[in-house]
Amino acid sequence: MDFGLSQDQEMLCDAISRTLADTCPLDHVRECAEGSVPFSDNVRSALGEIGIWGMMVPEQHDGLGMTMLDAAAVAEQLGYAVAPVPFIGAHVLAPLALAQGGSEELKAHWLPRIAKGEAQIAVAIAETVEIRDRAGVDFDGAKLDGTALFALDFLEADAFLVADTAGRMHFVAGDAAGLEKVALKTIDRTRSVGELRFSGVAGEALADDGGATVRRLRDAGRVLLAADSLGAGQAMIEKAVDYAGQREQFGRVIGSFQAVKHMCAEMAARHEPCRSLVWYAAHAFDATPDEASLVACHAKSHTGEVHRFVARTSTEVHGGMGFTDLLGLHFWFKRIGFDRQVLGSPEAVRAEAAALQGWTQVA
Amino acid sequence: MDLDYGPQYDAFREEVRQFLQTHGHRAPDGQGRAARPSPEAVEWQKLLILHGYTARTIPKEYGGYGAEPDILKSRIIAEEFSRAGIPAGLANQGISMLVPTLLELGTEAQKQQWIEPTLNGEIIWCQGYSEPGAGSDLAALKTSARVENGDFVINGQKIWTSTAKQADMIFCLVRTEPDAPKHGGISYLIFSMDTPGIEVRPLKTMTGHAEFNETFFTDVRVPLDQIVGQRGQGWYVANATLGHERGMLGDPDALENRLQALVRLMQKERIGQGCAMDNAVLRDRLVALQAEVAAMKFNGMRILSNSLRGDAGGMAKLVVKLQSCELAHQISALAIDAMGEMGILYHGSEREREDGAWQWNYMFQLGLIIGGGTAQIQKNIIAERGLEMPREPKFATPPAVEQATAVASGQNKGAA
């Protein structure tokens, strides 16, 4: 019995954490966030040396074939450092989708490139959670028409994987005729999402498995967004505690006042159990697929709620400084805001969890 | 991540299941809140000790089973009894608090005299710690014990003494050294509740029931040797067993069981043509609580796993009391809301649901949030021990506590 990260996983976390501490200080994050494309070449190549870009690519395609718990451990570190690199879409969902439903040609061409960090495929499945602004992509058996919002890891993508309204995934080349790409600007400038407009675009349909692949992608995405928010939340708590231990008012450090101390304690008390929930959800993705969707929902919705509280409370502990751009605390605040909304805000995800358990009359 | 306990433990689990199948029918109906166990409960307790399913690690010579501590086996026992809905032996303050204290710091004579009958449910204890003026600040307690003609003579008042009405004995913190610093002037005494001068008055709570008592002491005479540890060491004695696993695993699935009961209620409770579960707002709250219960369940697995590695538990453990009590309270709150107007029925009313259990829980669980270290004290602990934030400016801790530790560990060696 061993609940938690293995020694190997902890070593991986340490390696990433050290690399990010060296290559991804706040100044660098700020520089990337203020640029036209947020992704940092330095951080990408440094993390590439650890091998994380191919962690979810199967071994026969030059990847490491690692588990979702490994990926969650990485996502947590990236969230902790608000690292401006593509990950959830391009390095987890894309290889998962290709491995599960891609043709041999697609796999052979793209998976090794993803593993090397040489190719980036953005993934658009937002409409399988909720249709907003009448978005949605129709597939008539040959061509794709319609709009897909919130493609993850969008800017500089070489290609796209997009879900149609029937829940089937399609591969679309970045330069496909009839494809229009529009970047969306979000609160979180360490990530990139965008909109895909299709008019009679010829793609390559992945295997029609009745929505099974999309379901897996949604579960994986939710677990990893939860893991990212876990890391960002951890960083915000540590920053609040540090700040409260240094800032003096009324002749005392403010961390010695119960009002401030209790804010920190409440953050920690709500945050700490999230760690076990995220780990379990990641483990269930591989070990107990029957419950994977439900626990992924729980991890996503619960960390969404807890870390909204953490983001806001940590900012308040920092007082006026927390509100400034100067301190940069807002990068974590916004990262958490992104993690909460993408692939279903808590209410949407909970409605899905209820339906999964047969608690909803009209599914 | 490896959630298997291993083949050796699977065999043990099978053994426990066999036992429950064979003997489960002999278990008393529910543990109940009765302080004094029924003859069936006492028989059941003895059977459990015989098989090592309770008092498992307490040495045989004191009436226990005498097994080596094994966290996973204890956990399996708790899981299987919970799953079968069968009471896992007596869980009173004598067993959970006094017995570990005597094992660690009692004299050989005290261990021989008190542990076995306590385990067997023949002696019921109550705890005399809190006072009207000493709650969160327990060390401010004022109940005095002066020495007179070879006895302690006790005067004062205790509060929150649950089971004081039924108890045979009390373990009680009193001030024996009025001139010593706060923490260094306390002693831990054990004496009979039949001693002249003790008066117990029921303390009715907001639930409408008297789950607690106030206990008054007027010139209560207790022989000098009915002390655990030395004079002035009572604070240490009372705290000595707090850091240990006290075998108080309780019901590991308690929150999940409450949540399942809430799910059943919401599916059963009719609103118009449908049921409470059809209401999207109530359902959303239910799923939110379900996610939180899951988080606490996995947090518990993490603590268990940590303790297998000899890790004290850290932040994961520090947050449990605060989060679990609040969550239990929120589960009851949603149940009442799901019942709508029916939610106010109580006192055995017509149309009352489940004997008013949800209202009773809702109120009593507020008591649990306050008792056993208030939510505010829990937050201090999380901040100061878990996050290493600066302590409240307060009076210095007296050196007596350190001395007591040294003396007591010496005494412990002598007893072993």
Contact A3 B298 (CB under 8 A): yes
Q: Which of A269, A346, A354 sits opposite B382 (nearest CB)?
A: A269
> A191 in helix, strand or coil?
coil
Q: Kindly report the nearest CA distance between residue A198 and chain B, in angstroms.
A: 35
Q: In terms of Cα–Cα distance, which of A308, A36, A312, A80 is closest to A189?
A: A36
DSSP secondary structure code for residue A2 in this structure: B
Contact A273 B295 (CB under 8 A): yes
Q: How far is the CA of B242 from the CAs of B200, B236, B239, in angstroms? A: 27, 10, 5
Active site amino acids of B? 245
Tokens of A199: 């008019």
If asked whether residues B285 and B379 sit together in one domain, one would say yes
Chain B environment of A237 (Cβ under 8 Å): 387
Contact A256 B389 (CB under 8 A): yes
Contact A274 B286 (CB under 8 A): no
For A307, half-sphere exposure in the C-beta direction (CA atoms, 13 angstrom radius) is 35
Residues forming beta bridges with residue B153, ordered by sequence position: B146, B221
Contact B280 A244 (CB under 8 A): no
Chain A environment of B282 (Cβ under 8 Å): none
Contact A261 B72 (CB under 8 A): no
If asked whether residues B227 and B285 sit together in one domain, one would say no
pLDDT at B245 over 50: no
Q: Is residue A360 part of a domain?
A: no
B286 touches chain A (CB under 8 A): yes
* DSSP strands (E only) in A58-99: none
If asked whether residues A96 and A158 sit together in one domain, one would say no
Q: Which of B291, B301, B316 sits opposite A301 (nearest CB)?
A: B291
Phi-psi region of B403 (alpha: psi -120 to 50; beta: other; left: phi over 0): alpha
Contact B2 A350 (CB under 8 A): no
If asked whether residues B213 and B166 sit together in one domain, one would say yes
Contact B319 A272 (CB under 8 A): yes
Chain B environment of A283 (Cβ under 8 Å): 1, 3
Tokens of A272: 């700490």
If asked whether residues A104 and A138 sit together in one domain, one would say no
What is the distance between the alpha carbons of residues A194 and A182, in angstroms, rounded to a whole number? 6
Q: Please tell me the predicted confidence (pLDDT) of residue B396.
A: 52
If asked whether residues A156 and A79 sit together in one domain, one would say no
Q: Please tell me the predicted confidence (pLDDT) of residue B372.
A: 83
The answer to whether A308 touches A326, Cβ cutoff 8 Å, is no
Rounding to the nearest 10 degrees, give the CA dihedral for residues A206, A210, A214, A215. -150
A228-237, B20-29, B33-42, B68-77: range with highest mean pLDDT:
A228-237
Please state the φ and ψ torsions of residue B181, each to the nearest 5 degrees: -60, 155
Mutation for testing the A interface, residue in B75, B275, B290, B330 having most A CBs under 10 Å: B290
What is the distance between the alpha carbons of residues B221 and B217, in angstroms, rounded to a whole number? 10
Q: Kindly report the nearest CA distance between residue A361 and chain B, in angstroms.
A: 7
Q: Which of A95, A114, A133 is the last residue of a domain?
A: A114
If asked whether residues A128 and A110 sit together in one domain, one would say no
B281 touches chain A (CB under 8 A): no
Q: Which of B1, B291, B315 sits opposite A302 (nearest CB)?
A: B291
Q: Is residue B332 part of a domain?
A: yes
Q: In terms of Cα–Cα distance, which of A335, A324, A321 is closest to A234?
A: A335
Domain that holds residue B68: 7-90
pLDDT at A90 over 80: yes
Residues forming beta bridges with residue B144, ordered by sequence position: B155, B175
pLDDT at B33 over 80: no
Number of domains in chain B: 3
Residue B10: its H or E element:
helix B7-23
Q: Which of B90, B114, B142 is the last residue of a domain?
A: B90
Could you say which residues from 61 to 80 on chain B have a Cβ atom under 8 Å away from some Cβ of chain A?
A: 72
Domain that holds residue A32: 5-114
Chain B environment of A276 (Cβ under 8 Å): 295, 298-299, 301-302, 316
The answer to whether A291 touches A343, Cβ cutoff 8 Å, is no
B242 touches chain A (CB under 8 A): no
Could you say which residues from 137 to 156 on chain B have a Cβ atom under 8 Å away from some Cβ of chain A?
A: none
Contact A283 B316 (CB under 8 A): no
If asked whether residues A219 and A241 sit together in one domain, one would say yes
If asked whether residues A219 and A184 sit together in one domain, one would say no
What is the distance between the alpha carbons of residues B183 and B176, in angstroms, rounded to a whole number? 11
The answer to whether B129 touches B142, Cβ cutoff 8 Å, is no
Confidence of residue B313 (pLDDT cuts 50, 70, 90): confident
Chain B environment of A299 (Cβ under 8 Å): 291
pLDDT at B343 over 80: yes
pLDDT tens-digit map of A310-356? 999 999 999 999 999 999 999 999 999 999 999 999 999 999 999 99
pLDDT at B30 over 70: no
Q: Is residue B202 part of a domain?
A: yes
Q: In terms of Cα–Cα distance, which of A107, A110, A212, A220 is closest to A168?
A: A212
Contact B291 A245 (CB under 8 A): no
What is the distance between the alpha carbons of residues A308 and B288, in angstroms, rounded to a whole number? 14
DSSP secondary structure code for residue B68 in this structure: P
> B415 in helix, strand or coil?
helix
Is residue A45 packed enough to be buried (19+ CB in 10 Å), middle (13-18) or exposed (0-12)? exposed
Alpha carbon A362 to its chain's center = 30
Confidence of residue B415 (pLDDT cuts 50, 70, 90): very low
If asked whether residues A149 and A228 sit together in one domain, one would say no
Closest residue, chain B, to A356 (C-alpha): B287
Q: Is residue B149 part of a domain?
A: yes
% of residues, chain B, pLDDT over 90: 80
- Residues 6+ away with beta carbon under 8 Å from B14: none
Contact A295 B322 (CB under 8 A): no
pLDDT tens-digit map of A3-56? 999 999 999 999 999 999 999 999 999 999 999 999 999 999 999 999 999 999
What is the distance between the alpha carbons of residues B354 and B265, in angstroms, rounded to a whole number? 9
Q: Please compute the mean of the pLDDT values over residues B165-174 and round it to a whole number.
A: 96
Chain A environment of B6 (Cβ under 8 Å): 1
Contact B389 A261 (CB under 8 A): yes
Q: Please compute the mean of the pLDDT values over residues B293-297 and round it to a whole number.
A: 96
Q: Which of A6, A261, A301 sits opposite B383 (nearest CB)?
A: A261
Number of domains in chain A: 3
* DSSP strands (E only) in B149-262: 151-159, 169-175, 186-192, 198-203, 212-223, 227-228
- Residues 6+ away with beta carbon under 8 Å from A164: A136, A137, A138, A139, A144, A170
What is the distance between the alpha carbons of residues A128 and A352, in angstroms, rounded to a whole number? 11
The Cβ of residue B390 has, within 10 Å, a number of other Cβ atoms equal to: 16
Q: Kindly report the nearest CA distance between residue A228 and chain B, in angstroms.
A: 17
Mutation for testing the B interface, residue in A280, A305, A317, A349 having most B CBs under 10 Å: A280
Q: Kindly report the nearest CA distance between residue B382 and chain A, in angstroms.
A: 6
Q: Kindly report the nearest CA distance between residue B386 and chain A, in angstroms.
A: 8
If asked whether residues B285 and B346 sit together in one domain, one would say yes
pLDDT tens-digit map of A251-289? 999 999 999 999 999 999 999 999 999 999 999 999 999
Q: Identity (one letter) of the amino acid at B261?
A: A
pLDDT tens-digit map of A166-210? 999 999 999 999 999 999 999 999 999 999 999 999 999 999 999
> B256 in helix, strand or coil?
helix
Q: Please tell me the predicted confidence (pLDDT) of residue A349.
A: 98
If asked whether residues B289 and B222 sit together in one domain, one would say no
Confidence of residue B389 (pLDDT cuts 50, 70, 90): very high
* DSSP strands (E only) in B40-184: 125-128, 144-148, 151-159, 169-175
Q: Which of A171, A203, A235 is the last residue of a domain?
A: A203
What is the distance between the alpha carbons of residues B103 and B35, in angstroms, rounded to a whole number? 23
If asked whether residues B374 and B275 sit together in one domain, one would say yes
**Higher local confidence (pLDDT), A131 or B247:** A131
What is the distance between the alpha carbons of residues A142 and A200, in angstroms, rounded to a whole number? 9
The answer to whether B333 touches A311, Cβ cutoff 8 Å, is no
Q: Which of A141, A171, A203 is the last residue of a domain?
A: A203
pTM for the structure as a whole: 0.93
pLDDT tens-digit map of B203-222? 999 999 999 999 999 999 99
Chain B environment of A3 (Cβ under 8 Å): 1, 3, 298, 301-302, 304-305
* DSSP strands (E only) in B294-370: none
Q: Please tell me the predicted confidence (pLDDT) of residue B247.
A: 39
Distance in Å from the first CA to the final CA of chain B: 39
